[in-house]
Chain A
């Protein structure tokens, strides 16, 4: 009987629902794969004026820093009216709780002193929610009062780089074609400005048409095409001295669309002879020409890869305008654009992984990006006329020309993040076209 009862109990135990819990080993583990993409809130109170003469500059510098950071679309400034803490001492302990309360995730403080025309800017960046200073976020820049905007840009570059992990682009310049007047009588001249449209200077007069300026890798020279002699010729200008010379000397031969090689020693460009346009390279010092293509089609708009080993260009050899890549020494080219429409003006990203281009399809123009093998094409803009993209030094932003429709249409400069966000016009005193972004200034 005892055996029978034991069996019954065992059977009952086996039939009972399994309530035993498998023990968890180690800490709880979860995986986060979905986040949000939104501007990071930050605060930049007016910098402290260490000297009475620095009062105005201390405010202006903070405003330029805020304009730089917020202008990227990656950051959002917490307005001063919402600040709880007032920063009155550059070396005082930051009240993190006050900044957390207004959801400022980054904080930038600074102090400015002026001695004669010497300007000193000290600043620190803070990770508010980590209750600590950003690594490498505290620096001091010294310069002249005339260059206060550049110093503000450098501060913004440092903070941007520290938070995002990639280089900044604020301390850079843009050369472009300034345009004035109606479409049928438009006056064009070369101009150079800070990346944000400040400090515009004109490099040429409007006596002749100028086109497609391009910076040298060091940012001290500019190539451009001028009709000064009646037909297009390539000029090179020393920006510091505003001195120029003609690069191609063969009279009667049209040369255009020049661009520097990454080492600055070679120029690639298009030359039109007998109705045929091909690509050539020229050694700047010796003037030696090398033919890269000899097809009966039109090859133009060449651009070097950052390592200088390849060239991307546009050609109509297939019957429609498409993008091709070939070795810098010439030879067989590989077509990389295969979508609908026509592709042109390709530019290699400074990072080397993307190409920006202009696309025309269904009566509209687009600025787009694609991988260097033509894959993963993504159109960023759409309008009546968008063209001529140029990359920011960090490869994050593209500036281009947008022309509006109609007889009174204007040509303006626009910029857009490579994600397609933050599309906005660039402030210029007149109209503008053909922008070319410089490398970061030293």
Chain B
């Protein structure tokens, strides 16, 4: 046996021995800190973030006077263990409540804390008897409805997707400073808030959401005798490509048989896919669609260049479900606008994975938007 083989054998034997016997004599794990966390959704986080003005509740309720002699029993019957000796307090006038609390027309969101009376005899715990009023989560009305509610920006703030503070040059500064305008996204609600919901009590028998109605059945268009079609303006050939017609022609010609290049490289992570999804969602405006188009799901194909910009000529409708061809056309056009608008500066995608995102199929499903 050669020396090298012996050395290798000894080393492997040592390694395997360490693997086998090392587990029998585990060392004490290093101490580490544990932090308990609670998972919340983004919508819950947004709601929490919106609660700028917490209800005013007196931190320390008015202290109850120490009883000097045994007064008659209070009207409230104790619910706790009656075993402890209870020294009856003086007749207690109704505790002077904080006027800011009692005069508030809206109910308080949380039960009032039990007045601590450390020196006084134990009073029955009234907390369970207090009504558990839950603060209604009424969405704020806004012209824009978006997946995540957005608080109204400051009056002088410029509307932009990016949030950035205002930077004004310091007076007397020696070096020239760059001026930056304050920008913030437009205020948005996560659903449509009607006047009735805006003013209504938190508890109402009426549902707050409903499906949008379907479009009425189409009827023959009455002839307009004075209407004359106008020839369209001559457009460059590449600009007159009708993506819908292309999709139809492709389907007729058996476009599905066209062999697309296989993607290469590592796949996109779920985070990268989510970023792309959110980016397109921000520009997918369904506000002007008919109710029938809002019931139509379209699958749109698009090819991107290496800088993440969509090639407008490649945007095509691959399929549609749930509506007429007219509704599918409206839905496709809204999807196409979303891709072009939000892809104008290039989608943020990892360049090293270009082979994975060069060709994308986006399914635009408006089902959730119908019940906003």
Is A207 an interface residue when CB atoms closer than 8 A count as contact? no
Is the pair A37, B372 in contact by a Cβ cutoff of 8 Å? Answer: yes
Contacts of A24 in B (CB 8 A): 263, 267, 356
Contact check: which of A74, A123, A369, A420 meets B193 at CB < 8 Å? A420
Taking the closest CB of chain A, its distance from the CB of B308, in whole angstroms, is 12
Interface segment among A132-140, A186-194, A252-260, A428-436: the answer is A132-140
Known contacts A130-B312, A131-B312, A379-B206; is-contact A164 B227 (Cβ 8 Å): no
Is B276 an interface residue when CB atoms closer than 8 A count as contact? yes
Is A53 an interface residue when CB atoms closer than 8 A count as contact? no
Contacts of B277 in A (CB 8 A): 30-32
Is the pair B147, A143 in contact by a Cβ cutoff of 8 Å? Answer: no
Contacts of B146 in A (CB 8 A): 36-37
Contacts of B229 in A (CB 8 A): 136, 138-140
Interface segment among A198-206, A313-321, A348-356: the answer is A348-356
Is the pair A40, B287 in contact by a Cβ cutoff of 8 Å? Answer: yes
Cα of A381 to Cα of B141 in the assembled complex, Å: 13
Enumerate B290-323 residues with CB–CB distance to A below 8 Å.
290-293, 301, 312
Taking the closest CB of chain A, its distance from the CB of B353, in whole angstroms, is 9
Taking the closest CB of chain B, its distance from the CB of A200, in whole angstroms, is 25
Is the pair B12, A27 in contact by a Cβ cutoff of 8 Å? Answer: no
Enumerate B270-294 residues with CB–CB distance to A below 8 Å.
273, 276-277, 280-293
Is B247 an interface residue when CB atoms closer than 8 A count as contact? no
Is the pair A21, B281 in contact by a Cβ cutoff of 8 Å? Answer: no
Is B232 an interface residue when CB atoms closer than 8 A count as contact? yes
Is the pair A353, B213 in contact by a Cβ cutoff of 8 Å? Answer: yes
Is the pair B216, A368 in contact by a Cβ cutoff of 8 Å? Answer: no
Is A1 an interface residue when CB atoms closer than 8 A count as contact? yes
Is the pair A165, B293 in contact by a Cβ cutoff of 8 Å? Answer: yes
Cβ contacts B203-228/A at 8 Å (1 or 0 each): 01111111111111100001010111
Which partner residue on chain A sits nearest B339 by CB separation? A129
Cβ contacts A54-94/B at 8 Å (1 or 0 each): 00000000000000000000110000000000000001111
Is the pair B338, A35 in contact by a Cβ cutoff of 8 Å? Answer: yes
Is the pair B239, A131 in contact by a Cβ cutoff of 8 Å? Answer: yes
Is the pair B206, A339 in contact by a Cβ cutoff of 8 Å? Answer: yes
Taking the closest CB of chain A, its distance from the CB of B282, in whole angstroms, is 7
Cα of A31 to Cα of B366 in the assembled complex, Å: 10
Cβ contacts A377-390/B at 8 Å (1 or 0 each): 11111110000000
Contacts of A380 in B (CB 8 A): 194-196
Is the pair B357, A28 in contact by a Cβ cutoff of 8 Å? Answer: yes
Cα of A414 to Cα of B336 in the assembled complex, Å: 35
Contact check: which of B222, B233, B284 meets A124 at CB < 8 Å? B233
Is B143 an interface residue when CB atoms closer than 8 A count as contact? yes
Contacts of B337 in A (CB 8 A): 105, 127, 129-130
Cα of A368 to Cα of B196 in the assembled complex, Å: 9
Contacts of A105 in B (CB 8 A): 337, 341
Is B362 an interface residue when CB atoms closer than 8 A count as contact? yes
Interface segment among B25-33, B58-66, B324-332: the answer is B324-332
Cβ contacts A135-151/B at 8 Å (1 or 0 each): 01011111100000000
Contacts of B194 in A (CB 8 A): 378-381, 419-421
Known contacts A34-B368, A131-B239, A423-B195; is-contact A39 B214 (Cβ 8 Å): no
| A-B pairs with beta carbons under 8 Å apart, 6 shown | A32-B281, A32-B363, A40-B285, A139-B227, A352-B216, A379-B197
Query: A: which residues have CB within 8 A of B?
Result: 1, 8, 21-24, 26-40, 74-75, 91-94, 100, 105, 122-124, 127, 129-133, 136, 138-143, 154, 163-166, 306, 339-340, 349-354, 362, 364, 366, 368-369, 376-383, 394-395, 416, 418-421, 423, 442
Complex A-B, nearest 5 residue pairs according to Cβ-Cβ distance, in ascending order = A420-B194, A351-B216, A35-B284, A379-B196, A27-B359
